[in-house]
Each structure stands twice: as C-alpha cells, then as structure tokens.
Structure 1
C-alpha cells in the first residue's frame, strides 16, 4: 500500500487502543469526582495505584497523538480546534467549579504541541527516527520533574534549577511552574512534548511494516470510541456530574 493511502484510512488497532484508554479515563475521572468532590474515602486511589492509573492514561494518549501526527492531513486545523476546546474547558471550570479549575490541561497541551511540531516538522524530518526516538525519550525522562524545580525523574533530582525560571504564568505554561499555581489537570509543554515526539519518531521506525501489514477495514466498538475520543473527552465530565447529582 502506498504511503499516501495511509492518510485516507484509519489504523484500527490505534483506534481500539485509544478507545480502551478513553474508557479507562472516564472511570478514572469518575473516581476523582467521588473522592475529591463528594468526599468518599479511597486511599488506594490517592496512592501509588491511582498515580500509575492516571499516568497510564496520559502517557498512552500522548504517545498515540505523537504517533498519529504524520498521518494528519490538517494538523494546523486540528491543533487550533483542540486548543480552542482547551480554552473552553478552562473558562467553564473557572465558572462552574473553581476548586477544580483546569489551566494548561491536556487539551491545551495537545493543541499547542501539534502546532509546535507543525512549525518544526521540516527540521524533525531530517532527524533519523531511531535517533529522534532515543533523544526524545531521554529528554522526557530527565525533564519529568521540571515543575518541581529540577531536572529529574521519579523523585531522583539530577540538577537543581534557579528560582527565577519559575516566575509567572508564561513560564508555567512551558513547565516552570510558578509558586502558588494550581490546576486540577496540568500538562505543561515540557516534559510532555518530548513524550509526544517519542511517539512521533516511533511512527517513523515502524512506518514500513505498518503500510504492509495492517488491516484497515474491520471496525469494533472500541475503535468507534477511539475515533470520537475528543467528543467523549469534552462531554464525559458534564455527564458524570449529572449522574452524580442524581445519585447523591
């Protein structure tokens, strides 16, 4: 199958993986509402298991988004659309539930990352997929704890960074979180854009085998969910809120 045909079809297993992850996200956010908005105790959710659950969702989504970037026929349009919905969610949460306000959440990150990578795509195309994959993954690891004032990963601090970098809302957007900043869903550009780029270069590594071997025709319930993940993300929290209002 010629590469250009890939842009006209969908890779079903990617949609299925996205669909499975969107289900996991809905249940995770349902538990968040139960624990933090309705005061139910669930120590397992606040502990290591809950953290791993949350990380599995966001890491999967970001890797898939980076992987699919080169299959997107209109990345600028998509980036602007997702950025718009990120702004809408910030405004709505600020009005409806200020204690759970979302500033620089996952949609804002997605939209900005797509636009940034679009601007730099010609440069990235000159980098070997293997080299880009290794460098991107390495940069994600060493900048994972950037918001905590250092280069580090999983609590291991490699290098302390000066306080002046963490000074305002603009630095917070990039990952240098200013003191006192709060968001119930915070995904700054750094380190997460490096994970996005890990997926981006991962696509290049497996591109030829994808074009030869993947079945594009069959569809499943999970793949249908995956195709509409943005709509589900936007609507799931209002629907959960309505459900819990009826229950509680």
Structure 2
C-alpha cells in the first residue's frame, strides 16, 4: 500500500529522465555496432554487437519500466499512444522501403504505443487498485512465466516448462504477442509477452511518483546530458539510425577515395 504519511514532493523527477537517457545512450551504441558490423561488414562492429547483445534486454527493460512510471504523469495516454503508433507504423513503412532486409514490424515503438493505448483504456481500473507491491510482484511472476513464449513454452525452462500448442506458431498474425514462426522478420522486436509486465510494473510503481512520494534523491539532477537524452528520447530514436548510417557512408567514401 502507499505510505499515506509520507510528505509529498513536487517537481521533475530528474533521475527518471537520466535513467531513460542512459537506456537511449546504450541503445544508440548497440545499434551503431549493428550498423557498422552487419550493414558495412566490419569485424569489430559484429564483435561488439554480439558482446553487448546479452545486455540489450536490460537497458530496453529499463526504458519500458521508466515509460510505465511516466504514464502516471501523462494527461492522456490514449492520445499519446495513438500518435506514437502512427510514428511506429511510419518506421515500418520506411524500413520496408529503404532496408527491407532490416524491416521493423513490431519494435519498441510499436510495443510502447500499444502499452500506452491499453493504459489509457484501463485507467479507471488501474486507479481503483490501491495496492502497489502486490501487483508489481505479480508482474515479476508473469514476466518469468511468459518470457519464453516465442520459443514455444511457458515458464523459465528446464523442469519448469509447459509446452504450448504448435498451432499458435503456424502463422505470424500473433507475432505482436510473441507467437511467430521462422518466416517472421523484425530487426527490432519486443513482443507484448513478456514485456508488457515490465511496463505494467512501472505503472504501479509510478503511483508513488504521481503522489510525490518517490525518495527525495530522485528529484535531483546528477548527469544532465543523460537527462537531456531522456527528455528527447523519441526524436533520438527516430534519427539515430539514419545518422549512424550516413556517417558510416561518409567514412566509407572518404576511406575509398583516400
């Protein structure tokens, strides 16, 4: 339950901006290694991309969690979600036309837009839930339970594995949920299951932010550059890949004419 006796704090929660910015920073470098390694054939780009691949779910999950917290501070998640969905579909169209071998059919923008829409539609039910930590614990359990859905089973694996009907994977219509076959393509892919539970955990923790009851230390700015990146996360996400690709083309041209 929320601590009703805690003093309310107001103002921008700078640590949220800075953590979101850190996640964006990691994402830019990660995608940069992919571009250099796989689109331009550089060995070291492939090496560092593969080296950092195990870390991707952590900084992507951090971004989702912070986004879930932030939805408590939005005036209209439904409107924001619909706008973001339009942008996400624009990304799908552009990648399909420009780099069809790296098309993004359901990436993190698609995921976040659907989560925002659901948060907007379910706001009355979310507001009626007074508990915080019980739903968060349930989200953790459901994340672990559904984390391997795209691999054909419920549970964390090993002895704790419940196989799913193969019919769920016969087509790719359910790919946004996590059910797809080997023909599915998406260079950036974050299905609703299990990631929606990371976002949902952020929603419930965000009730503390809305009430001004986050720890005092979180309202202080420590790394302003990450804070700036966090506040401009969407535009950075949209432009970073074209910029990286353009810089690589320029370097390639300079080297070839050198």
User: Scaled by the length of structure 2, what TM-score is found?
Assistant: 0.85
In structure 2, the residue matched to 1:67 is 69
Q: Alpha-carbon deviations, 1:31-53, whole Å to 9, x = none?
A: 01011111222464354x42222
Following superposition, the deviation at residue 186 of structure 1 comes to: 1.0
- C-alpha contact 2:65 2:202 (8 A) present in aligned 1: yes
Q: Is 1:100 matched up with 2:102?
A: yes
Paired with 2:74 and 2:215, the residues of 1 have a C-alpha distance of 15
Give the number of equivalent residue pairs: 244
- Kindly report the root-mean-square deviation, in angstroms, between the aligned alpha carbons of the 2 structures: 2.5
Aligned counterpart, 1:33: 35
Which residues of structure 1 form unaligned runs of 5+? none
Structure 2 unaligned blocks of 5 or more: 1-5, 253-258
Is the 1:2–1:211 Cα contact (8 Å) retained in structure 2? no
Runs of at least 4 residues off by over 6 Å:
216-219
1:168 maps to 171
Instruction: Determine the structure 2 residue equivalent to 1:24.
Output: 26
1:121 to 123, 127, 147: 123
Structure 2 residue aligned with 1:226:
230
1:55 alignment counterpart = 57
Change (3 A) 1:194 1:44: same
Q: Which digits, 9 at most, give the CA deviation of each residue in 1:57-111, with x for residues without a partner?
A: 2111001011111111121121111111110111111110111111111100000
Aligned to 1:189: 192
The residue number in structure 1 matching 2:143 is 140
**Stretch deviating more after TM superposition (206-215 or 171-180):** 206-215
Cα-to-partner distance string for 1:121-141 (whole Å, 9 max, x where unaligned): 222333321111011111011
Alpha-carbon contact 1:145-1:155 (below 8 Å) kept:
no
Distance across 2 between alignment mates of 1:131 and 1:140: 14
Counterpart among 184, 209, 232 of residue 213 in structure 2: 209
CA contact (8 A) 2:15 2:221 kept: no
TM score, norm. by length of structure 1? 0.88
Q: Which has the larger radius of gyration?
A: 2
How many angstroms apart in 1 are the aligned matches of 2:140 and 2:40? 38
Question: Tell me, what secondary structure is at the counterpart of 1:159?
Answer: strand
